[in-house]
């Protein structure tokens, strides 16, 4: 289905500017879109940006392209493709995104980058530290042995430094994020306080006990090094707020609503496609 939807999106993009209704007059297919000189000129401008026509563009090529597209539209209509929800969604989204770019100067004023001060960027950073946090770094000592019983009796951390030998190996983990450690280790470390020792855990064909030596917490990205990226985030957040305001006004102006029954049915039956994809990937 995903490939099918992508294919429909490609068709929708290819048919930009065309309508889905072509008409027959006698034995001649008349295009459903109003074909006039400005429309053909706009097609020529679009085609001029395609590599296929880098060698040159003629009026005949433009006329042929427009007729080819209308022929595809007519065939899609005859086969009922234009009524598929995936197709209607692709056309709807493309029109919306096209008009969003065209209407942006009227709906959302430009935010000049040089008008956003360093003080504003710093304030945004301080107010959104969760965005710019870095993972905690763990430092630990590992006691590794082939015999599980040998580690079970070693509960005193003071013994570790003097217990190294052929039977027991001492290793260190220096400033590593939890994501770099195996899942069983992560689970134990999250429950431990500094200085505590884990139960005996399996480790490949050996056994291990972990002593948590330290955790570096509340780490943040360096503000000065990331300042321009943070400025981008601030500008984006302001654009997002302006667009939300603009959308709200447009919906009110044009009375845009979705029927309550349709909306409630959709919410009741909704299954998150992202979760479905994740489940498929795991299997």
- For 8-49, write each residue's pLDDT tens digit: 444 444 444 444 444 544 444 455 567 889 999 999 999 998
Q: Which domains, and CATH codes, for the chain?
A: 2-105 (no CATH), 113-126+221-282 (no CATH), 134-220 (3.10.50)
Nearest Cα neighbor of 176 from 206, 225, 213 is 213
Token pair for 143: 């006691």
Q: Report, as an integer, the average pLDDT of 109-117.
A: 95
Please say whether the beta carbons of 153 and 141 come within 8 A: no
Q: What are 212-244's pLDDT values in tens digits? A: 999 999 899 999 999 999 999 999 999 999 999
- How many Å apart are CA 277 and CA 279, to the nearest integer? 5
DSSP state of 204: T
pLDDT band at 184 (very low <50, low <70, confident <90, very high): confident
9's CB contacts (< 8 A; 6+ apart) are 90, 94
pLDDT band at 158 (very low <50, low <70, confident <90, very high): low
Higher pLDDT, residue 165 or 171:
171
Please say whether the beta carbons of 220 and 129 come within 8 A: yes
DSSP state of 197: B
> Which residue, chain included where needed, has tokens 């217990």?
163
125's CB contacts (< 8 A; 6+ apart) are 132, 223, 230
DSSP state of 167: S
pLDDT band at 61 (very low <50, low <70, confident <90, very high): very high
Residue 174 has pLDDT above 70, yes or no: yes
Q: How far is CA 263 from the centre of its chain?
A: 25
Please say whether the beta carbons of 230 and 121 come within 8 A: yes
Token pair for 227: 């300042």
35's CB contacts (< 8 A; 6+ apart) are 66
Residue 162 has what pLDDT? 62
251's CB contacts (< 8 A; 6+ apart) are 257
Q: What are 236-275's pLDDT values in tens digits? A: 999 999 999 999 999 999 999 999 999 999 999 999 888 7
Q: How far apart are the first and last CA of the chain?
A: 18
The least confident of 74-88, 154-168, 177-191, 250-264 is 154-168
- How many Å apart are CA 132 and CA 137, to the nearest integer? 15
CB burial of 257-282 (b: ≥16 within 10 Å; e: otherwise) equals: eeeeeeeeeeeeeeeeeeeeeeeeee
Residue 5 has pLDDT above 60, yes or no: no
Q: What are 140-157's pLDDT values in tens digits? A: 988 888 888 778 877 776
Residue 54 has what pLDDT? 83
Mean pLDDT of the chain: 84
Residue 159 has what pLDDT? 67
Higher pLDDT, residue 76 or 4:
76
Token pair for 137: 């770094």
Higher pLDDT, residue 247 or 3:
247
Token pair for 49: 């940006």
Residue 165 has pLDDT above 80, yes or no: no
Length of the chain (residues): 283
């Amino acid at each position: 289905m995903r490939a099918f939807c992508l294919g429909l999106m490609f068709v929708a993009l290819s048919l930009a500017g065309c309508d889905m209704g072509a008409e027959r007059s006698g034995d001649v297919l008349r295009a459903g879109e109003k074909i006039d000189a400005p429309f053909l000129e706009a097609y020529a401008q679009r085609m001029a940006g395609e590599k296929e026509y880098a060698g040159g563009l003629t009026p005949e090529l433009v006329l042929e392209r427009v007729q080819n597209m209308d022929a595809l539209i007519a065939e899609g209509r005859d086969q009922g493709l234009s009524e598929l929800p995936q197709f209607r969604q692709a056309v709807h989204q493309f029109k919306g995104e096209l008009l969003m770019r065209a209407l942006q100067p009227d709906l959302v004023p430009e935010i000049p980058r040089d008008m956003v001060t360093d003080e504003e960027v710093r304030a945004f950073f301080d107010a959104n530290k969760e965005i710019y946090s870095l993972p905690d770094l763990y430092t630990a000592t590992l006691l590794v042995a082939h015999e599980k019983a040998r580690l079970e009796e070693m509960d005193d951390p003071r013994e570790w430094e003097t217990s190294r030998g052929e039977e027991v190996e001492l290793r260190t983990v220096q400033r590593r994020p939890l994501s770099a450690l195996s899942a069983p280790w992560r689970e134990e470390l999250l429950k431990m306080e500094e200085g505590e020792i884990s139960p005996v855990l399996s480790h490949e064909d050996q056994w291990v006990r972990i002593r948590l030596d330290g955790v570096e917490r509340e780490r943040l990205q360096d503000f000065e090094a990331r300042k321009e990226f943070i400025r981008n985030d601030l500008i984006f957040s302001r654009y997002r707020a302006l667009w939300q305001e603009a959308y709200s006004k447009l919906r009110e102006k044009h009375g845009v609503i979705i029927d309550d029954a349709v909306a409630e049915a959709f919410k009741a039956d909704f299954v998150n496609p992202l979760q479905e994809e994740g489940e498929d990937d795991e299997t």
